[in-house]
Chain A
Amino acid sequence: MSTVSTSSFYDSAIYNMNALNTQAQNLQEQISTGSRLKNAYDDPVAAARMRALNRSDTLSTVDKTNAESAKSDLTMASDTLSNFSTIVARLQELTTQAATGTLNDAQRAGVGAEVTALRQNLVTLANAKDSRGQSLFGGNNGSQAYTLAANGTASYTGAGTADTVSLGNGLTVTRGVTGPEFLNFTVNGSSTDLLAVVKNLGDALQGNGPSGTTPQAAAHAALDQLQAATNAISTAQTIVGSRLSWIDTTTAIRDQLGQQRTDDEASVGGTDIATTVSRLQQTMTILQASQASFVKLSSLNLFSMIN
């Protein structure tokens, strides 16, 4: 015989209805928060996955900022390199004029004055600052790229290499070029640099060159060197351009991964609205049915039948 005592009938009815109510509330909360994980212990594995995904999101935001900063520095370097090549082109024009016999030395001295002025511009450009206030072509050791001695000779005082910036997922990019990487070149087996070449040219055209060298001969000699400088600068421009496109590539990769993470987050920790709503509906239906049957059963009392 399995009789149910009156108190256990009420107890279990209350217990069951409470359980249904709790379940309905949980589902409602899942819908309203959009997250099916209220506590980490609801699903430890999913919670750990969500932690990892959120961490990647946070770090990826920083990677994006870093990439943008590297991109702006590289763009600035690229623009400055264009200025360099414009000036070098002008220098080539002037040198070609000075190398012809149609100019006299006084006129060459005038050209030499312009060359010296253009060199000033080159030095200023070589010491340009980047978006961080650091030397654009001086690496990362905190000093300016080129220091001028009392006699006007420029010497490189920056770091040996440019910084690398992390782009996330183990990818890096070098955020610039150092001065020697595009100002130094080798002509006829001897290595020299643009600032020295232009200084010597300016001096020689104004009659202050080494003894035994005429200004016209000096201009002749400088033509080869300036051509080599143009080549070095355009090589550097190509390098900077390819680094910029590398940043674009990694940005595309990062965006793709971010999209994938968003999908993962939705599937791991998000609420599937359609399923959850129909489960809520089901729970509510069961709850209403149990309430109705409870009322029916509890009114089914023998005492009310006996008069």
Chain B
Amino acid sequence: MSSNLLQIGASGARAARAALDVTAQNIANAGTAGYVRRTLSVSEMAGHGTQSSIGDVSLFGVGNETISRSADLFRQAEMRRTGSDASRADAQVGGLQDISNALEQSNLYPAITQFEASLQQLSSNPTDTSLRASTLEAARTMAQSFNIAGTSLAAVGNQLQFQATDGVKQVNTLTQNLATLNTKISADTDPGMNASVLMDQRDQLLQQLSTYGNITTTINPDNTVKVQMGNPATTLVQGGQSATLAMATASDGTISFSVGAAALALGGGSLAGQQQALSSYAGAVTRLDAVAKSLATAANTVQTGGTALDGSAGQPMFTGITAATITLALTSGNQIATAPANSLPGSANPANLTALQTALGTANVVGGTDSLLFDTAAAVKGATTTQTALTAIAANAKNALEAQSGVNLDEEAANLVRFQQAFQASGKVMQVASTLLDTLLNLR
């Protein structure tokens, strides 16, 4: 009986010691990313004594110490899903902002306005060579602004493609790691600390994977995970096997994804955001090139229908019909054909200059540029609103998960005191058992 008391005391001390270990582990990992709070669950040890009558209960203390992870599968899945959405919005907004900045910072619109203004000024005195020279420089500045806008846009496209390529690489590394982890997890049947560490790693990899693409996960009974990505849900990881995600870049710069031979559409994650931004990029390039082409065509048509200052027939003003390649072809301000066809040398007749101004208006160069700038800026604004909402949702999901699975140091401090007292109490129990035995032995 008293030896049983000693045993009960010892089991209590053991349980308290294990609980202190778990608390210490939690405190040590309070700042570790992906760490899920461990809890110790114990159960009472009791059984029917063999020599006692039926209904008598023998007490054996506490035991079955099991360390479990306080992970909530639903909250984890929510965090991954909302995180996917938020990182898609982040990538899209980032890309769209770069597109808008590339167009805005090229100063294209002011350059076009300046060209218009210089034409207007030239019309007051078409034979003034200094006004002609300044008009020529305004035309050059405008062409170069188109070049800057074109090349900056291309740089934005390249950057987005580079990020997406890197994202695909990361996805493939992560899925390989997950497949390896699956193998380890299924081989490890020890319910102790090691399996928990593997599951922490598994969840952290899933979390990282979800920032690149929208994934659905199925946790199998043996704690391995099956990962599916995109739409239609395509299996990337199952057991120890992982499939490879591939990316293709079209000639207009847009990207598409595939697994094996099957195309894969992504609804979330940074890859989806980069895909959306690249499709906006392709649209912006098309529109910018269209403006450059209509400008070059209009200017060249009018210019070749007029007479230069020296009485010769006008030459085309620009070569190249895309934003990146448009170049001023005239070398001297005197080549600007301000006078109508068959005019005398030195004619001050501004009819052809007026025709050029009208043609630029008809070609909608200013309007086209303005609406391009407005549409890209408005796209950023719209996407930013969505991004703000999605970020808040993702932050809430993260908080909800952390509240449930994260470490609260105050709680751990209280546990530390609690289990220390439990340990001391169990020690006291053992001391009492010992005293009781001594009392019996000293009876004479």
Contacts and interface: CB of A to CB of B under 8 A. Distances in A.
Contact of A163 (B104, B348, B381): B348
A286 B380 CA distance: 29
A3 B411 contact: yes
Given A39-B101, A40-B100, A142-B344, A5 B402 contact: yes
Contacts of B300: none
Interface stretch (B111-119, B187-195, B265-273): B111-119
Contact of B124 (A3, A51, A69): A69
Nearest to B410: A302
Interface string B106-142: 0001100110111011011101100000000000000
A55 B115 CA distance: 11
Contacts of A51: 109, 370, 373
Interface string B328-369: 000000000000000111111110000000000000001000
B127 A134 contact: yes
Contacts of B408: 3-6
A27 B370 CA distance: 27
Interface residues of B, number: 56
A54 B127 contact: no
B104 A40 contact: yes
A140 interface: yes
A15 to B, nearest CB: 7
B17 interface: no
Interface residues of A, number: 46
B30 A41 contact: no
Contact of A41 (B37, B125, B377): B377
Contacts of A59: 113, 116-117, 120
A301 B409 CA distance: 8
Interface stretch (A60-68, A99-107, A238-246, A248-256): A60-68
A47 B369 CA distance: 13
Nearest to A175: B124
Contacts of B380: 39, 41, 44
A44 B125 contact: no
Given A66-B124, A133-B127, A142-B347, A44 B409 contact: no
A52 B370 contact: yes
Interface string A1-34: 0111111100010010000000000000000000
B138 to A, nearest CB: 11
Contacts of A45: 374
Contact of A7 (B97, B366, B402): B402
A43 B362 CA distance: 28
B344 A143 contact: yes
B395 A58 contact: no
B255 interface: no
| Most B CB within 10 A of own CB, among A5, A15, A59, A69 | A5
Given A6-B407, A55-B366, A66-B120, A302 B347 contact: no
B45 interface: no
A132 interface: yes
A158 to B, nearest CB: 11
B213 interface: no
Contacts of B344: 141-143
Contacts of A266: none
B123 to A, nearest CB: 7
Contacts of B37: 5
Given A8-B406, A142-B346, A301-B413, 13 more contacts: A5-B406, A6-B30, A6-B408, A6-B409, A7-B406, A8-B402, A39-B104, A40-B377, A41-B96, A41-B380, A59-B120, A142-B348, A166-B120
9 contacts: A40-B377, A48-B377, A51-B370, A58-B110, A58-B113, A141-B343, A141-B344, A142-B347, A166-B123
Interface of B: 30-31, 37, 96-97, 100-101, 104, 109-110, 113-114, 116-118, 120-121, 123-125, 127-128, 343-350, 366, 370, 373-374, 376-378, 380-381, 384, 395, 398-399, 402-403, 405-411, 413-414, 416-417
Closest 7 CB pairs of A and B: A5-B406, A41-B380, A302-B413, A44-B377, A8-B402, A40-B377, A66-B124
